Structure 1
Amino acid sequence: MSRLASPAPRQRTLAAVSIMAVLVLGGAGFWFLHGAKGGPMTASADGQASATKDDGGVGILLDLAKTAVGEKRLVAPAGSNAYEFYLSVLQLDPSNKAALDELHEAFPSASADVERAINNNELDEAQRELSLLREFDSTNYILSLLGGKLDAQRQIMVRQDEARAEVIQSQQSAASGATP
């Protein structure tokens, strides 16, 4: 599946832009309510403190990611999981050590979640999760193995569907042959 066809990067970008827009609006509102009363010096000090506090949304995304890790939402649900938050941090700051370290640390548990989705025949969800992990590390052999397992499970599902269709078709032809 190509990266252009995947909706996940667009969703993360949209989420990051939305968060940044909320931060800007919130900062403007804060300045309007509190900064204007204290004069230009207060507004300037508040703006500097705000800029170092959130780093353009990176701090908020890191907090959201840590919360998601604590709640065991490593790769699911879509749009609200640790991997998507950490990957959004890396879009804003590609060398963010905290995000890189957490992605590496969460990888074994996240890949186990993908395997669990495959075993539960949640194949579309497993594909989405696997694509998310591949965005972080496309060369990992574990992801290659999971991709092979997912493909095999899809083939099994196709064969089972074909067998069911054949049974239904034979029942319909037997019923139409028995009716004069």
Structure 2
Amino acid sequence: MDTRITLEARHGARGAVRPVTLVAIAVIVMLAIASWFLIIQPHEEMVLSDAGGHPSTPVTPGTVAAPPPANVEAMGTDQLLSEARKAMNDQRYLAPAGNNAFEFYLKALEREPGNAVATDALRETFPFAASSAEQAINARNFNEAQREIDLLAKADPANFTLTILRSKLDAQRKLQDKEQQQASDQERQQQLAAQKAAEEKAAADKAAEAQQASTTAPKGTTAGSTRNAASSQAAETAAAPAPVQAAPTSTPAVLIRSVNPRYPTQAQRARTEGYVVLSFTVTSEGRTSNIKVTEAQPRRVFDRAAIDAVERWEFKPATRNGEPVDSTLTNRINFTLGQP
């Protein structure tokens, strides 16, 4: 057989493979495009329709009055999913408490672990709910914001958005405390300025009265009578008993602004109650310092929450002889379920 013929046949076979490969690639691309338009895109549109919009759409509070809490314990899984979809359409992602989409979906997962509808819905709607919690933070509704963040953590505890929300909540709390402290300091300065002005006015009035009395004294008064009056006054002064030095006066510190402690989430879930006894110093500026736990039941459950609350308390400081001084106080903080 001619070797040249064999080589030409092989080269022809290699060249024929290229068009087949291109056709295969084109078919794969067309199938991917068809899958997008026929499967993926309709699924996303359906999820967004249930969610009430696109993740970039800002969440706006509804004008309709919030519905009352639902009796989720009496609902089956299908009813929970149905109520969750209604809540999604009304943009009730996390609020009001007891009648929102996340609580319905979480209850459905509790009834039926691994439920695909509830799992997918919680994942897809997490951005909307996070936006709702951020709005509560910006409105400085701190208790509601904390509740919504805790609810988000039940759905996805490892989501980094929770770290951002908690940081914003802490920053807003500190900013509010700073503003309140500045307002308190300004009010105190105004009170001191008003008190000083009143004292200066009283002194001026007294000086004016003394000057007027000296001007209207009888003209017949002689030097001799003046000396006699002075001698009589000196005798009365010598006969008068020496003044008794007054005992030092003091007043205790008075609480003027308190902050309720936040109930720890783990203790609330476990239905745990208790108390913490704290000893702390009230400085001459009315702030608290050297806060120590002297007694707690149960131990180390409520300590941090109690200390955080007392750190933000403000007092009218104790005084001794009219001057503010440091003082030491002891206070017991009770943690009871159902407390405001």
Q: Give TM-score scaled by structure 2 length.
A: 0.37
Q: Does 1:97 align with 2:153?
A: no
Q: One-letter code of the match for 2:195? A: S
Question: 1:16 Cα deviation (Å)?
Answer: 3.0
Counterpart of 1:125, as a letter, is: E
What does the per-residue CA deviation read over 1:8-40, in whole Å, with 9 as the maximum and x for residues that have no partner? xxxx9x9432x25xxxxxxxxxxxxxxxxxxxx
Q: Show the 5 A alignment for 1:94-133.
A: 94-133=113-152
How many angstroms apart in 1 are the aligned matches of 2:191 and 2:98? Answer: 44
Partner residue, 1:16: 72
Once residues 99 and 59 of structure 1 are traced to their aligned partners in structure 2, the CA distance between those partners, rounded to angstroms, is: 11
CA offset at residue 83 of structure 1? 0.5
SS at match of 1:139: coil
- Shift of residue 76 of structure 1? 1.1
Q: Deviations over 1:124-173 (max 9, x none)?
A: 21111111101111111111111111111111111011111111111122
Superposed displacement of residue 174, structure 1: 1.8
Structure 1: gaps spanning 5 or more residues = 1-11, 21-56
Runs of 5+ consecutive residues of structure 2 not aligned to the other structure: 1-68, 200-340
Counterpart of 1:82 in structure 2 is: 101
> Could you tell me how far apart the structure 2 residues matched to 1:171 and 1:81 are?
47
Choose which of 179, 184, 205 in structure 2 pairs with 1:160.
179
- Aligned partners of 1:15, 1:173: CA distance in 2, in Å? 56
Q: CA deviation at 1:64?
A: 0.7
* Runs of 4+ that moved beyond 4 A: none
TM-score by length of 1: 0.68
User: Which residue does the alignment assign to 2:87?
Assistant: 68
Structure 2 partner of 1:140: 159
SS in 1 for 2:94: coil
CA drift at 1:77: 1.2
Aligned residues with identical type, % of pairs: 40
Distance 2:135 2:119 in 1: 24
Partner Cα separation in structure 2 for residue 177 and residue 60 of structure 1: 70
- Looking at structure 2, the residues matched to 128 and 161 of structure 1 have their Cα atoms a distance apart, in angstroms, of 24
Q: Does 1:169 align with 2:179?
A: no
Q: Which amino acid aligns with 1:96?
A: N
1:178 paired residue among 191, 197, 200: 197
Q: Which of these two proteins has the greater Rg computed from alpha carbons?
A: 2
The 3-state SS of whatever aligns with 1:179 is helix
- The alpha carbon displacement at 1:92 in A equals 1.2
Q: Residue by residue, what CA displacement relative to the aligned partner does 1:65-89 show, whole Å, maximum 9, x if unpaired? A: 0000011110111111100111111
Structure 2 distance, partners of 1:93, 1:155, is 41
Q: Which AA in structure 2 matches 1:64?
A: E
Shift of 1:122: 2.0
Paired amino acid for 2:105: Y
Q: Which has the higher contact order (CA 8 A, sep 6+)?
A: 1
